[in-house]
Amino acid sequence: MDEQTFEYSLDYALQLDAEDSLAKYQAEFYKKKGIIYLDGNSLGLLSKRAEKSLLELLDSWRNFGIDGWTEGEYPWFDLSERLGKMIAPLIGALDDEVIVSGSTTTNLHQLVATFFEPNGRRNKILADELNFPSDIYTLQSQLKLRGFDPGIHLLRVKSRDGRLIEEDDIIAAMTEEVAIILLPSVLYRSGQILDMKRLTNEAHKRGIIIGFDLCHSIGAIKHWLDEWDVDFAVWCNYKYLNSGPGAVGGLYVNKRHFGRLPGLAGWFSSQKDKQFDMEHILTAAEHAGAYQIGTPHILSMAPLIGSLEMFEEAGMDHLRNKSLQITRYMMNLITYELNDMGFTIGNPLDDHRRGGHIYLEHKEAARICKALKANGVIPDFRAPNGIRLAPIALYTTYEEVWNSVQLLKKIMEDEQYKQFENKRGVVA
């Protein structure tokens, strides 16, 4: 699909669906009839395979009791490591550099506690002003625990337009006072992809540790963390990886850092053959498993087994190509159908800078999102005026995208949004 051949008809959408090599995965997901789900960048849909692997792990509890830690098809004791091996290809990492454990925030606390080593003037943390609040809360907490003032020691790169962060501005902020950098791989509002390779290279030139939050990129774009020499990364598994609400997260630590003791040690930080020796001196695992803290949440990890099977089958090349094509298609429709209705496309237009979702801005965004839901389209509102729409490569059709834009057009033409309060819900 290119600009010259693009058509705005429903027939063209159906043609694109007929040509979609990933169309077979539609039947894998529980999609509610009459609902167009465009919020998979917040919470992915349940697949039949994820449901199956969850039930299999429940069965292992039923059948083995405590012996489930070592028995069955998926023994619990090393499940975090096994899932890490399945995720490693998605982020361009070695098997033992990845572990499925904790949550985004707890893993971030762990890795900042591990890698933030203030020394003399080099005692500041660099982030950006558009990052997700939880990441900023973590950095502020870690500074306070070290006796530093977050108002002084947490530096945040400013956005020039309120949507994007320029890499040049980040690099300019990499001063000799910065000890560690944390950035999102993809900005959660605008969907901008940061140039992780360039930023890592520039940080390392200056002797600065750098890590990334992959929550809005893993499963949506390709990564080469080892090739880029990224120091660490964290992510959740419930967005594009479809592993369920509150699913266990993941972390990556570059093999160069193996042997560094975890800043927040716990029982599962232990080398596995030593763990049950019950010694009061930690013998840390010699891989990413060292940065686990507590006992893995087996039933919250279970759906990821089935979900990752599909990612392995489909391949990130195909998934990324479909994502780029369907988001481009949606932007073309929006530009054509909603041109004079007050919408601004706030995500990057260039493929190499755009993640997996569309970001629209409108002064009535909260009301419009409520009207969309009333019409069977599930969007995502982001204060103060953002509408996120995520056509997901594995389960969104071009016909659904076409229909959603037509419904949005009708909502605006009929002023249906005026029936609703321009205020977000409790969960936006």
Question: Where is the binding site for pyridoxal 5'-phosphate, in residues?
Answer: 104-105, 132-135, 213, 216, 238, 267, 295
DSSP state of 419: G
CA distance 257 to 332: 45
Give the distance, in angstroms, between the CA of residue 256 and the centroid of all CA atoms in the same chain: 24
Which tokens sit at 219?
Answer: 């499963």
DSSP state of 290: G
Q: Are strands 380-382 and 358-361 parallel, antiparallel or unpaired?
A: unpaired
CA distance 20 to 15: 9
Provide the b/e sequence for 210-234 (b: ≥16 CB within 10 Å).
Answer: bbbbbbbbbbbbebebbebebbbbb
User: 129 and 158 in contact (C-beta within 8 Å)?
Assistant: yes
Give first-to-last CA distance, the chain, whole Å: 33
Phi-psi region of 376 (alpha: psi -120 to 50; beta: other; left: phi over 0): left
CA distance 412 to 415: 5
Residues 6+ apart with CB under 8 A from 250: 83, 84, 87, 98, 99, 100, 101, 107, 218, 234, 235, 236, 237
CA distance 132 to 213: 9
List the one residue out of 312, 324, 274, 311 whose CA is nearest residue 394.
311
Instruction: Give the burial class of 181: count Cβ atoms within 10 A of its Cβ; 0-12 exposed, 13-18 middle, 19 or more buried.
Output: buried
Secondary structure element (H or E) that encloses residue 178, with its range: strand 178-184
Q: Which residues are annotated as a binding site?
A: 104-105, 132-135, 213, 216, 238, 267, 295
CA distance 175 to 212: 19
CA distance 361 to 236: 26
